[in-house]
Every structure is written in C-alpha cells, then in structure tokens.
Chains A and B, each alone.
Chain A
Amino acid sequence: MKEKETSKLYNSITNVDNRFIEEAQTKTRKRISKWTKWGAVAACFCLVVVAALFIPNLTPTVPDDEVQSDTSIDYPAMIMVDNRLYKDCGKALDLPVSTEPDGQIITSCDTIPTENNQSNFGIGYGYRYGEDNTIYVQFDDGWHIFVLNETENTVDTNGLTEQELMKLDPGYNAG
C-alpha cells in the first residue's frame, strides 16, 4: 500500500467542506415529482425530434480497425477469469465470509474486461469458482454471483446493447 499518499488523501477527504459532510448524512432519496418526470419525458422527445431533423446520419459507421473506447456507456459489472467473461447477476450467495478465495482481481478497466483477473469495477476483490459456470466475487462481507457470459469462444449477446456488441465485435455494425 502506498501509505503516505493514501494517508494524505484520507486526511484531505476528512477536511472537505461541511456542506458535503452534512449532505452525505441524508439517506432518504428525493422523490421525483410528477412534473419533473413528465418534463424530462417531454425534453427527451424534443431532443429526439431535433436530432432527427438536424443530424443527417444518426448511426455513424465505425471503421473495422477502429473501435472507440467510450467510457460513458454503462457496462454491466464484469470480470474475466481463465479467458472467460462473467457478468454480475445481482444475486448473493450464502457462503462464510472466511472462505478462502481461489484468485483475486488484479487489474481493472473502464469497459469490458479483456485480460484474466480483470474487472471493470476495481481491483483487490477475491473470487471463487462456483457451480454451473459461475464465479463468486467477494464484496465486503458477502459473496456475489457472476454468471458466464461466453460459451465456446462465442459471446452470449443476449441483453447486450448495440454499443457493447460493437465493442465486442468491431465488424458488427459495418456490414
């Protein structure tokens, strides 16, 4: 651990402005008013109409050899282990906290993991091999199930967005 640097960061965060500290003690989420909700729907509709009128080509083609790394896309939480991609299924597992992990996530990326022991949500997480093509990933005091997203080198594209498909297969949108 880079103790000196993290200490400085910890202390600086300790001393941030009072208003941010107080704001963080508010746990209830604000309810969105009906007007805000319908206002947002109307704004989106206007934006689509304007975009359709003024932007000639809404679906730009991506060159075969150039896939842009777009970190604004909200990819699902994923990890790569043994050249296989696993995706968070949102379910937890009743496994003792003390269970030893089989491996650890050591690198991280912003989009879709492409290396073994890599995630797209940070490093240091332990994982265990689970049953039926699953991996259990440890967060704080619990284990969470990630399911295989790839079989026989073929990516299961179910549930992936256009952008995700383009990222996985650069030629997807070209022809």
Chain B
Amino acid sequence: MEDLEIIGLFFKRDEAAISETATKYGAFCRGVALNVLSISADADECVNDTYLRAWNSIPPQKPDKLGAWLGRVVRNIAFDLWKKNHRQKRYAGMEEILNELEDCIPSPAAVERQIEEQELTEVINIWLASLPRNDRILFMRRYWNGETVNTLAEESGTSPANIAKKMYRLRQNLKSKLEREGYSL
C-alpha cells in the first residue's frame, strides 16, 4: 500500500492503518530498534510504542515520508528507553554508537559558541551532502540505522577493521567541520 493511502487510513481513524504500517515498515522499525538496543523484547516494545505514537500524532501531522518519520520516532523512543534503563541493562548497540559519536565532539579550545540541536542538524545535512555517496550511506547506516561494523564489513566484502577505520575518518571529518565553523555541542 502507498504511504498516502496508509496516512489516509490514519486520518479516517481506521485501525487498519496500524496493520498496514506494520506490514510495510514493521521490519524496518524493528531493525532500527534492535540495532540500537540489542534486546529483542525492548525492541518490540519500541515498535509497538511507535505505532501508538503514529496513531496519536497522525492527524494532525501528515508526514511527507512515512518511513523516515517512523524511523525517527523509533530512534527517539529507543533513546528514551536507553536513558531510562541503561544503568540496569546493557544496550550494546546504543552504547557503541554513542561512544563512537564522542569522537565528533569538537575540542573546547576550538569553539566559539554552543550550537542548538536544530542548527546542528542543518550543519550535518550540509556535511552529509558534501560526502561521496558511499561514505554518506556508510555513515547513515552506522549512526542512523545503527547497523554493526561487522554487518557493514560483510556486505562490502572488507574487514571490520577497514570499516572501523573508515568510520573513524568520517567522525574526524565531521568533528573538523564543526570546529572549522566554531561550534561546541
């Protein structure tokens, strides 16, 4: 079913909207949740909460791209769950992603002002657009989809160390971009 038709079902308050969303985007949402949380039951909880949030938000919201919208909701819910539980549970995926993202934080001496979250998104958009397509996809698959270094290595026929090396360079590249523009997080 097309996105517009699914959104139409949400607008009509037809419960088939949930099953159609699950059919089209269930695996994608679960994949993102599982990549960052690494615990199956928690990933399922995240996905169910995502459907509930979609039901409560559409309408009035009318996403342009339903998949990307749902993915953002899943990431936000997974992050909230991580914040709530990470001292009790080990969410390996999220821990690794956040540890790696620390590399992108500009050093204090190099910055002039704090950047707001929305502005930071714009800077990242410009930075992503400037990357070669393969590097951009690699960065997004690791830090947006939350896919593991091993998965990415297997798919591209190289070693995990090579992918890790590439990811390290991309993180350093983003850090330089932020420092050049004089931002702190």
Which residue of chain A is the closest to B153 with respect to CB atoms? A139
Within 8 A of B (CB), among A1-40: 1-18, 20-27, 29
Within 8 A of A (CB), among B137-185: 137, 140-141, 143-145, 148-150, 153, 155-156, 158-162, 164-165, 167-169, 171-172, 185
B4 at the interface (CB under 8 A from A): no
Q: Which residues of A contact B68 (CB under 8 A)?
A: 18, 21-22
**C-alpha gap A2/B185 in the complex (Å):** 10
Q: A9-B101, A110-B172, A122-B168 are in contact. Are A144 and B161 (CB under 8 A)?
A: yes
| Interface contact A12-B102, CB-CB below 8 Å | no
Q: A17-B125, A25-B28 are in contact. Are A10 and B167 (CB under 8 A)?
A: no
Chain B binding surface SS class: helix
State how many residues of chain B have any CB contact under 8 Å with chain A. Answer: 54
Which residue of chain A is the closest to B138 with respect to CB atoms? A24
| Interface contact B137-A10, CB-CB below 8 Å | no
A-B pairs with beta carbons under 8 A, tally:
152
| B63-105 interface bits toward A, Cβ cutoff 8 Å, 1 = contact, 0 = none | 0110110011001100100000000000000001111111111
Place the interface of chain A in its size category.
35 or more
**C-alpha gap A11/B133 in the complex (Å):** 22
Q: Which of B16-24, B48-56, B116-124 contacts A (4 or more CB under 8 A)?
A: B116-124
Q: A14-B144, A141-B148, A141-B150 are in contact. Are A8 and B125 (CB under 8 A)?
A: no
Q: A1-B99, A8-B117, A18-B68 are in contact. Are A13 and B144 (CB under 8 A)?
A: yes
Q: A13-B143, A22-B67, A23-B136 are in contact. Are A140 and B165 (CB under 8 A)?
A: no
Q: A22-B67, A77-B165, A141-B150 are in contact. Are A122 and B125 (CB under 8 A)?
A: no
